[in-house]
Amino acid sequence: MFHEEQIITDTLRENYMPYAMSVIISRAIPEIDGFKPSHRKLLYTMYKMNLINAQRTKSANVVGQTMKLNPHGDGAIYETMVRLTRGNDSLLHPFVDSKGNFAKHYSRDMAYAASRYTEVKLEPICKELFGDIDKNTVDFMDNYDGTMKEPQLLPVSFPNILVNPNQGIAVGMASNICSFNLKEICDTTIAFLKSEKCDVMKTLLAPDFSTGGQLIYDEAAIRQIYDTGRGSIKVRSKYRFDKKNGYIEIYEIPYSTTSEAIIDKIIELIKAGKIKEINDLRDETDLSGLKITLDVKKSCDADTLMKKLFKLTPLEDSFSCNFNILDGTTPKVMGIKEILGNWTKFREECIRRKIKYDLNKLTHKLHLLEGLKKILLDIDKAISIIRNTERDEDVVPNLMKGFDIDEIQANYIAEIKLRNLNKEYILNRIKDVDELSSELDRLDNILKDDKEIRKIIIAELKDISKKYGQERRTEILYDHVDEEISLEAEIEDYNLKLIFTRENYLKKITHVSLRSSGEQKLKDGDKIVCDWDTTNKTDILLFSDKCNCYKLKTYDIANCKASDWGHYIPNICEMEPGEKIVYAIPTADYAGDLLFMFDNGKAARVALNSYETKTNRKKLINAYTDKAKLVDIKFLAQDEDVVVYSSLDKILIFNTSAMQTKTTKNTQGVAVMNMKKKSTIAKIEFLKDVENFKNPDYYRAKNIPATGYYLKDDDNPNEQMSLF
């Protein structure tokens, strides 16, 4: 069968791009009203069901009705609803008043009840989402099958985009917006409306989360978030210590983690022996809220333990901000002022459209009343015209001629009930003409003046702040000094022996165990390459045949017995497939140098402290040069005489003092032995380890590089002694 060739870029453009754009624009990224389409469809459905004033209804009922706007299935709709409920505790200001089990944001494993068991209605704050939505304040569009209309945005009267958190992962981009205190947001927006040059840091103190906790205040980091829309803030848990009963209660945790994640990490640390002060821990979360209880030893210093846990567990966690918001159909990362600027434009347009709607309504009403005013001059004439008109369709034209009014006014008069054609009724109706005229003038003046529109927004924000504002839940820790807890100080130190084998096994054996043990057991065919006497508080550097250096903490490695094979290094270090360790060395202070010998006759002397890092990186790439094949690595505590053997049985002895120490790890080094074609370096040794040389000075080079000397028969350990 003939298959037409397709250009992959064209196929991606035609098939993948529409999907990617749909996810970005219509699913994952929130818009300026603070909602994604799934939120908006759900809340609008509940609004149309009159759940803002009525009693709660079954969640299943709401989910079913929402499917008229959102065809993604009942499971997805209900999950969206769960996050918006008061019961879930995800939002500072929930939109859904809930009854039943809606799980908790701070719990990973707690499951919410099925929609047939729970009940919901809209919270009072939703009045601020839908106010005047029926006055043409926002555009409407067809739903997916064209049977209903739904709003493209909700006319929110406060910057909801910053009040409640929002997270979304699209295609090739994401959004992560933290929540802020409603009072602070209203005050900041008012300050911005009065002057766009205001300093938002004065009124918008810091993010505020529904799960509380303590925010570690970093002015530079917060200013970066406010200016750019990107950055990270640290939040830590709150705890109380009951010294009498010997337990710590953790009752507020960072928004970005869960109680199960914290407990799992603490258990892992206890099993690894890194935390020894905890006797037991329990999740005591109940109807009163979150509670993780740690039973601690009597001698435990609670503050020191918590500092350690803050460093090692999600009890202190970072919230990464990414204020990516749809501006029309364009995703854009915005700072606080830009978000407020966009929201202000949106809200001003909503108010203008509402005023235009009211103007049209009032103008129409005034027009009708002016027609009614004309017939007040002669009610009998109006009755006579209607009574003397033979055909029904001529009533309106005859009224138009008789009173010099238009068709709309004539229709209105013709529809008045006979009992209302009296002077009192008509006078009562037309007495509002002057008030309507003045109201029209007032609305028209507002529409022409941007300052007046901003005054309306400011008044609304003050009212919202007064009605719905609440105190901060997340405490701000000013002038906080993040004390560096020395974890190594908590680690037990003792003398031990490290053994490295050819098959890449590493054995850590205490001296006590070594004295009571017999012969070292190894894997069949394996042999010990090197061993060192060291302590439990050292770093181990492991060099591989792929120019990588892996770093391990000795205390992270479990003790072995002489009868064990040891720990298989590739498993510990997560090495590349086929990668093998060729040299290992423990160090406590990174003093000394490493001598790298390559088969092309070059050698590199690199300071060991070049491999010391401030962070605990476990892998360093380009640990030595890959321009030539590595022959061997030697550790230099001081300058040493080194014996170099070539494949042509030539020998050269030189002192490492002739080599300059480098700090660049992957330096190509300097030439030590002049090599002939097809010859290579076979091995190197320290002279102090060689016993068969009768006259070592014969092979010594005054300067390097040197050619070297052929091995004398007397110095060849392989030559057998003659009996004659």
Residue ranges of E strands in 253-340: 278-283, 292-296, 316-322, 324-327, 330-333
Residue at token pair 């370096």: 681
Spatial distance between the Cα atoms of 163 and 186, rounded to a whole number of angstroms = 10
Query: Which residues on neighbouring strands pair with residue 249, listed in sequence order?
Result: 240, 293
Distances (CA, A) of 214 to 141, 316, 419: 43, 9, 71
Kindly tell me the burial class for residue 357, based on how many C-beta atoms sit within 10 Å of its own C-beta (0-12, 13-18, 19 or more).
middle
Report which of 26, 66, 16, 18 is spatially closest to residue 43, judged by C-alpha positions.
Answer: 66
What tokens does 337 get? 């002022």
Q: Which of 307, 415, 315 is nearest to 106 (CA)?
A: 315
**Cα–Cα distance measured from residue 274 to residue 678, given in angstroms and rounded to the nearest whole number:** 54
Pick from 338, 142, 232: which is nearest to 330 by CA? 338
710 an active-site residue?
A: no
Query: Could you give the strand order of the β-sheet that contains 292-296, starting from the edge strand earlier in sequence?
Result: 238-242, 247-252, 292-296, 278-283
- Check whether the bond before 254 is cis (ω within 30° of 0): no
Query: Of these residues, 78, 106, 112, 117, which one is catalytic?
Result: 117
Distance of CA 692 to CAs 529, 643, 655, 682, 712, Å?
Answer: 21, 12, 19, 18, 11
Provide the b/e sequence for 426-442 (b: ≥16 CB within 10 Å): beebbeeeeebeeebee
- Read off φ and ψ for residue 578, nearest 5 degrees: 80, -5
Chain center to CA of 592: 42
The number of CA neighbours under 13 Å toward the Cβ of 442 is: 8
Write out the E strands in 274-315. Answer: 278-283, 292-296
From the list 190, 676, 142, 167, the residue with the least C-alpha distance to 463 is: 190
Cite the active site residues.
Answer: 117
